Amino acid sequence: MSPAERARWIERDDDMPLTMQCELASIPRSSVYRRMEAAVREQCLTEEDCQLRALIDEEYTNRPFYGSRRMVVFLRRRGYCINRKRVQRLMREMGLAGMAPGPATSKPHPEHKVYPYLLRGVAVTRPNQVWSTDLTYIRLARGFAYLVAVIDWYSRKVLSWRISNSMDASFCVDCLEDALRHHGRPEVFNSDQGSQFTSTAFTAVLKREGVAISMDGRGRALDNIFVERLWRNVKYEDVYLKGYANMAELMVGLAQYFAFYNAERPHQALGYETPDRVYRSGIGGGALIIDKFGDDDGEQKNAGMTGQRRAAVELEMGTA
Q: DSSP string of 218-280?
A: TT-TTTTHHHHHHHHHHIIIIIHHH---SHHHHHHHHHHHHHHHHHT--BGGGTTB-HHHHHH
- Look at residue 127 in the predicted model and tell me its pLDDT: 97
- Look at residue 19 in the predicted model and tell me its pLDDT: 72
Q: Are residues 31 and 154 in the same domain?
A: no
- Look at residue 162 in the predicted model and tell me its pLDDT: 98
Q: Are residues 36 and 130 in the same domain?
A: no
- Look at residue 83 in the predicted model and tell me its pLDDT: 93
- Look at residue 296 in the predicted model and tell me its pLDDT: 35
Q: What are phi and psi of 56, to 5 degrees?
A: -60, -45
d(CA 253, CA 79): 33
Contact 62, 97 (CB under 8 A): no
- Look at residue 33 in the predicted model and tell me its pLDDT: 61
Among 40, 43, 78, residue whose Cα is nearest residue 58: 78
Q: Are residues 208 and 308 in the same domain?
A: yes
Amino acid (1-letter code) at residue 267: H
Distance of CA 319 to CAs 56, 73, 79, 151, 291, Å? 22, 27, 32, 17, 17
- Residue at 73 is within a domain: no
Contact 245, 140 (CB under 8 A): yes
The residue ranges of DSSP E strands in the chain, in sequence order, are 123-124, 130-140, 143-152, 158-164, 188-191, 212-215, 288-289
- Residue at 250 is within a domain: yes
Q: Are residues 7 and 136 in the same domain?
A: no
> Whole domain around residue 294: which residue ranges?
123-317
- Residue at 260 is within a domain: yes
Q: Are residues 36 and 127 in the same domain?
A: no
pLDDT in single tens digits along all 320 residues of the chain: 555 555 555 544 455 676 777 776 677 766 666 665 555 555 456 778 888 988 998 888 888 778 899 999 999 999 999 999 999 999 888 877 654 443 343 455 455 688 999 998 889 999 999 999 999 999 898 788 999 999 999 999 999 999 999 888 999 999 999 999 999 999 999 999 888 999 999 999 999 999 999 998 654 556 678 898 999 999 999 999 999 999 999 999 999 999 999 999 999 889 999 999 999 999 887 555 555 443 333 333 333 444 444 434 444 445 45
- Look at residue 264 in the predicted model and tell me its pLDDT: 97
Contacts of 176 (CB under 8 A, 6+ apart): 133, 150, 160, 202, 205, 206
- Residue at 203 is within a domain: yes
Given CA atoms 65, 68, 71, 77 in this order, what sign does their dihedral have? negative
Distance of CA 311 to CAs 85, 216, 307, Å? 29, 19, 6
- Residue at 138 is within a domain: yes
Q: Are residues 136 and 272 in the same domain?
A: yes
Among 238, 194, 226, 223, residue whose Cα is nearest residue 320: 226
- Residue at 53 is within a domain: no
Q: Are residues 129 and 271 in the same domain?
A: yes
Among 270, 273, 290, residue whose Cα is nearest residue 224: 290
Q: Are residues 164 and 18 in the same domain?
A: no
Q: What is the CB-side half-sphere exposure of residue 112 using CA atoms within 13 A? A: 20
Among 128, 124, 126, residue whose Cα is nearest residue 288: 124
- Residue at 153 is within a domain: yes
**Count of domains for the chain:** 2
Distance of CA 110 to CAs 79, 113, 133, 199, Å? 38, 8, 21, 10
273 forms beta bridges with 267
- Residue at 49 is within a domain: no
d(CA 263, CA 274): 6
Residue finishing a domain among 27, 43, 59: 43
d(CA 70, CA 182): 41
Query: Parallel, antiparallel, or unpaired: how do β-strands 143-152 and 130-140 relate?
Result: antiparallel
